[in-house]
Chains A and B, each alone.
Chain A
Amino acid sequence: QKEVEQDPGPLSVPEGAIVSLNCTYSNSAFQYFMWYRQYSRKGPELLMYTYSSGNKEDGRFTAQVDKSSKYISLFIRDSQPSDSATYLCAMSAGGTSYGKLTFGQGTILTVHP
């Protein structure tokens, strides 16, 4: 079983919809949680970074972390066609291992006009 599980989708939604992306993990040492967006043939781009449990909002994006359930989510409000990409969750234990990220498989999202 992988340390981080992410539904690969694909997920297809109409423009304006609320999108929910999720990951579960098994390693209780993970302290830092990130969401990356990756367009085709591009490098991953950091969208959200959170530490420990709770919510964090940035514009149309909200990241949630529930450490007790080992579950993280990314919500995208008022989705746009430009949001069409692969979304990757990533996490690390922090400390000297901060940059050693463990990624989910990625969810392919398509937003239709």
Chain B
Amino acid sequence: GAGVSQSPSNKVTEKGKDVELRCDPISGHTALYWYRQSLGQGLEFLIYFQGNSAPDKSGLPSDRFSAERTGGSVSTLTIQRTQQEDSAVYLCASSTRSGNTIYFGEGSWLTVV
């Protein structure tokens, strides 16, 4: 597609369940990022993949959060044992290696009940 694609658009899950959120970056973009946007915290960096380098995981809030990127393209963000405070919009973004322009997807709206 032309832009960053994320799925699901909306997800309601019960507290304690695991969720997987998917991101398909813009074709040819080597860098992929996950951010979280919530009312109280604004937009926060979570994790950053650049090519084959080890990801920068410094923004992951707890060990319940993990992400992988297979084949240098699609990425999955996994949240284990979801908590109500995990309710937020999870935004994926991608850029070329030079990274001058970072494009965001529409986000996955997660509600934990």
Interface string of A13-52 (1 = CB under 8 A from B): 0000000000000000000001010000111111001000
- Cβ B107 vs Cβ A103 within 8 A: no
Please encode chain B, from 44 to 66, with 1 for each CB lying within 8 Å of some chain A CB and 0 for all others: 11001010000010110000000
Q: Is A88 an interface residue (CB 8 A)?
A: yes
Interface size of A by CB at 8 A reads 22
Separation in Å of the A63 CB from the closest CB of chain B? 14
Choose from B48, B50, B99, B104 the contact partner of A43 (Cβ within 8 Å). B104
For the A-B complex, the count of residue pairs with Cβ-Cβ distances under 8 Å equals: 55
List the B residue with the shortest CB-CB distance to A94.
B99
Tell me if B75 counts as interface (CB < 8 A to partner A): no
| Shortest beta-carbon distance from A68 to chain B in Å | 24
A100 B48 Cβ-Cβ under 8 A = yes
Name the CB-closest residue of B to A90.
B43
A99 contacts B31, C-beta separation under 8 Å: yes
- How many Å lie between the Cα of A68 and that of B7 in the bound state? 42
Interface residues of A (CB under 8 A from B): 34, 36, 41-46, 49, 88, 90, 96-106
